[in-house]
Structure 1
Amino acid sequence: MTRHAIIFHGTGGNPDVAWYPWLDRQLTEGGYRVERPRHPGINIEPIAELLPKVLDAHDFTPDTVLVGHSGGAALLLAVLENLQDFVAQTILVAGYCTRVNESEEPVLQDTYDWDRIRAQGGDLYFINSVEDPYGCDADQGRLLFDHLGGTQIIRNDGHFGDHDQPFETFELLNRLIR
C-alpha cells in the first residue's frame, strides 16, 4: 500500500506557506500520497466543533504519517486521541499542549488521554526551538515528550516558518519521515 502523509498548517496559516509545499514535493517524489488540507478553523473554532470536521475529511490508517505545525500540531493531539486506528508516524513541529501565551487557544483540550495518543501516534517526534516567539518552545516539546515518550529534537530555528520568518525547506523533517 502507498504511504500517505497529511501536513497540517498552523494557526492563521494555509497549506501553501513555509516548508509545506516543499515537503509535499519531496514526499510525492518518494512515492507518498500527500494531502495539505486547508483548515481555517484551526485555533479559531473550539476543538469540539473542529475535530469532527477534520476526522471526517481524512483517512487515517497504519500507513499514514501526520505532520502538524504549531496550531496544527496541537490539533493532532485531539485527532490521535479520537482515531479508530493507529498511524505510522506523527511529527509535531513547534507543538504544544498547554496555553503558551496570552492568546486564546481553542484548539487545546482541557485534558488528554496521553496513553491513547501514545498508542495511536506511531513513532512520535517533537521538534521545537530553544526560543519560539509564540511560546511553542523546547519546554513545550519536553512536556509532550514527558507525556508521550518518542523523540524530542531541540533546534534554534524560531517558529520554523512564519510571516516574518521564511522557512522554505526543512531537510531534517524530510529525513525523519520514513
Structure 2
Amino acid sequence: MKKRVFIIHGWGGSPEGGCLPWLKSKLEKNNFEVIAPQMPNTEEPKIREWVPHLSKLVGSVDENTFFVGHSIGCQAIMRYLEKTGGKTGGALYLAGWFVLENLPEEEIEIAREWTETPIDLEKVKDATKNHVLIISDNDPFGGFEKNKEMFSRLGAKIIILPGAEHIENLELPVALEEIIDLTK
C-alpha cells in the first residue's frame, strides 16, 4: 500500500511556501502519495475550520498515513490526531509550538484560541507513537524551552537547527530524511 503524507502549511502561508513544495516533490519522487492542501482562512486560522478541513481531506487513517506540519499546521495536525480515533504512522513538526511570543497585538487575538485551547497529548500519543520536532533556537515567535518541553511530553525526537528562525528554508534535507525514517 502506498504511503500517504499530508503536508499542512502555516498561518498566512500556502502549500507553495518555504520548503513545502521542495519536500512534496522529493517525497513524490520516493513514491509517496503527497497531499498538500490550501488550508481555509489562512490569514485568520480557526481551529473549527482547520481541523474539520484536515479530517475531511484525510478520510480514514492507518499506519501508512503520515503528517508534516509547519507552525500552526503542527497545531492543526495534533488537534486532528487527538480526535481521529485511529492509528497513524507518524508526524513531523517544523517550527511547531504550544506557546508563542513576540506577536503583534492583532495576531495575539487570532492565536489565542490555539494557545489557550488545550491539546490532549495522551490522545495524540495514542494516535501515533512517532513524533519528530524540528525547531530553531532563535525562532522569532519564541517559546523555545517551553515548546521543546511540550513536544518531549509527546515523546518526540527533537532536532534543533541553530539560527534557522521560523524554519522557512527553501530546502530542508533533514526534514526529508526524518519523514522517510518515520515511514520505515
TM-score above 0.5, yes or no:
yes
Distance 2:146 2:155 in 1: 14
Identity %: 24
Distance 1:107 1:14 in 2: 19
Distance 2:22 2:145 in 1: 25
**Match runs of 1:46-57 below 5 Å:** 46-57=46-57
Aligned pair in 2 of structure 1 residues 17, 46: CA closer, same or farther (>3 Å)? closer
User: Where in structure 2 are there 5+ consecutive unaligned residues?
Assistant: none
Task: Say which of 133, 136, 155 aligns to 1:129.
Answer: 136
Partner of 1:164: none
Cα pair 1:128 1:154 within 8 Å, conserved: yes
Cα pair 2:15 2:21 within 8 Å, conserved: yes
State the TM-score, normalized to the length of structure 2: 0.85
Matched, 1:159 2:143: no
Matched, 1:114 2:121: yes
Cα pair 2:66 2:91 within 8 Å, conserved: yes
User: Where in structure 1 are there 5+ consecutive unaligned residues?
Assistant: 162-166
Partner of 2:179: 177
Aligned-residue RMSD, C-alpha = 1.8
Distance 1:15 1:136 in 2: 25
Aligned pair in 2 of structure 1 residues 129, 37: CA closer, same or farther (>3 Å)? same
SS of residue paired to 1:11: coil
For 1:15, the aligned partner's letter is P
Partner of 1:68: 69
Deviation at 1:42, TM superposition (A): 4.8
SS of residue paired to 1:92: strand
Matched, 1:82 2:89: no
Distance 1:43 1:140 in 2: 23
CA displacement 1:17-59 (0-9 Å, x = unmatched): 1111111111001010001110033572431343222211223
Cα pair 1:131 1:138 within 8 Å, conserved: no
Cα pair 1:89 1:121 within 8 Å, conserved: yes
SS of residue paired to 1:177: helix
Which has the larger helix fraction? 2
Cα pair 2:10 2:69 within 8 Å, conserved: yes
Distance 1:136 1:89 in 2: 24
